[in-house]
């Protein structure tokens, strides 16, 4: 039940988005059909409700994606901790020199004359 939960959350997010889209169309049509005076409200429901559904499902989908990435990182860390052989890509990254004192942002390029 709790295996591969990130993928399940992402599927639920997609289903939620589709549900909001279909529900907004149905509710908008019901409002327009039942009260012609409220046609503007029905159209607004059909336009705004899917946006709300998309925004909420986008956050849920992003959360599921974060869980998947975290699980992937945990697998890699467990392999490194257990001392398994590193892949060639990991070895290439490990052999590169790193300069800890290198600034992330410089105030001005060194080659610029003023």
What is the pLDDT at residue 64?
A: 94
By CB atoms closer than 10 A (0-12, 13-18, 19+), residue 8 is middle
Contact, 9 vs 67, CB < 8 A? yes
Q: Give residue-wise pLDDT tens across range 20-69.
A: 999 999 999 999 899 878 888 888 989 999 999 999 999 999 999 999 99
Looking at residue 7, its pLDDT comes to 93
- pTM for this one? 0.64
Name the CA dihedral angle for 20, 26, 27, 32, rounded to a multiple of 10 degrees. Answer: 140
Residues 6+ apart with CB under 8 A from 10: 61, 64, 65, 68
């Amino acid at each position: 039940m709790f295996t591969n939960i990130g993928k399940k959350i992402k599927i639920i997010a997609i289903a939620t988005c589709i549900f909001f889209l279909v529900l907004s169309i149905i509710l908008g049509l019901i409002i327009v059909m039942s009260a012609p005076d409220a046609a503007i409200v029905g159209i607004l429901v059909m336009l705004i409700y899917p946006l709300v559904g998309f925004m909420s499902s986008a956050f849920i989908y992003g959360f599921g994606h974060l869980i998947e990435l975290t699980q992937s990182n945990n697998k890699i860390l467990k392999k490194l901790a257990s001392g398994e052989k590193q892949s060639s890509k990991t070895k290439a990254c490990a052999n590169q020199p790193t300069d800890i004192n290198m600034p992330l942002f410089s105030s001005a390029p060194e080659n610029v004359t003023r």
